[in-house]
């Protein structure tokens, strides 16, 4: 089934709204599969499925080859989900595939007739990648690091928040359950319309009315937080 969907990728990206929506769900399914499926090598080492790694690259190429808004949004979601892992895997092989992807994104921003909001999403993705996908570097090499020997092992993992605002990462024993709950409740683009209309919604009025000036007490606390964060970073 996956192979059939994959082989029809070029036609699917040019199909009607229903066809594209189904194809995008397939793309994100493969992305989740790539992140979670573990393959044991001949020497007992655990790796990800290389065939999915190559497949995701071709799916990205198909999405960027027909740069309508919905295809581009799917590409953004895919790269936010797997970009850091894909880039690491490609670099291990001496490939610069991610550089090529970023160049395609920049070309889309310059040339494609996609909406302003989608171009903004693409630029934010380029910015995320330039910051190494938001990761921080531990002192232990990634290949040798384990939760037991590296206290910074989970520092490269993103931080999520439950519906109650409680932060959690992959280090949390209930990570899978909490992450699934987050996926079920989160709508990344609640006011987006696929006809190219600008994002709009009740939130805009709220943001327009916000006073940019901080309360003096809040401002003082914020400056203290920034100083403490900088101090910890230097340590």
pLDDT value of position 170: 66
Which runs of consecutive H residues, i.e. helices, occur in the chain? 2-7, 9-13, 17-36, 50-65, 69-92, 97-111, 116-130, 175-185, 202-208, 216-234
N-terminal to C-terminal alpha carbon distance within the chain: 52
**pLDDT tens string 71-124:** 999 999 999 999 999 999 888 888 888 999 999 999 998 887 889 899 999 999
DSSP-assigned letters across all residues of 6-66: HHTHHHHHTS-HHHHHHHHHHHHHHHHHHHH--EE-TTS-EE--HHHHHHHHHHHHHHHHS
pLDDT value of position 157: 57
pLDDT value of position 94: 87
Q: Give CB contacts under 8 A, 24+ apart, made by 99-107.
A: 101/57, 101/60, 101/64, 102/126, 102/129, 104/61, 104/64, 105/64
All residue ranges of the chain with pLDDT < 50 are 139-142, 188-210
Q: Classify domain 1-134 by CATH architecture.
A: Alpha Horseshoe (1.25)
d(CA 149, CA 106): 40
Q: What is the domain partition of the chain in residue ranges?
A: 1-134, 157-189
């Amino acid at each position: 089934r996956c192979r059939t969907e994959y082989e029809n990728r070029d036609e699917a990206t040019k199909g009607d709204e229903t066809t594209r929506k189904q194809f995008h769900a397939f793309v994100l399914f493969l992305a989740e599969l790539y992140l979670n499926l573990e393959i044991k090598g001949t020497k007992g080492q655990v790796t990800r499925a290389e065939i999915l790694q190559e497949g995701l690259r071709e799916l990205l190429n198909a999405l960027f080859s027909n740069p309508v808004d919905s295809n581009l949004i799917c590409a953004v979601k895919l790269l936010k989900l797997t970009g850091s892992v894909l880039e690491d895997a490609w670099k291990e092989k001496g490939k610069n595939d991610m550089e090529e992807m970023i160049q395609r994104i920049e070309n889309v921003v310059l040339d494609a007739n996609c909406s302003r909001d989608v171009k903004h999403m693409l630029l934010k993705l380029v910015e995320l990648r330039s910051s190494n996908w938001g990761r921080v570097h531990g002192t232990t090499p990634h290949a040798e690091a384990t939760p037991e020997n590296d206290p910074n092992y989970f520092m490269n993992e993103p931080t999520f928040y439950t519906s109650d605002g409680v932060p959690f990462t992959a280090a949390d024993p209930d990570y899978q359950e909490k992450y699934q709950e987050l996926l079920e409740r989160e709508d990344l683009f609640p006011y987006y319309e696929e006809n190219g209309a600008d994002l709009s919604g009740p939130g805009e009025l709220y943001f327009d009315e916000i006073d940019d000036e901080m309360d003096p007490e809040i401002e003082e606390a914020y400056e203290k937080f920034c100083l403490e964060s900088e101090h910890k970073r230097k340590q």
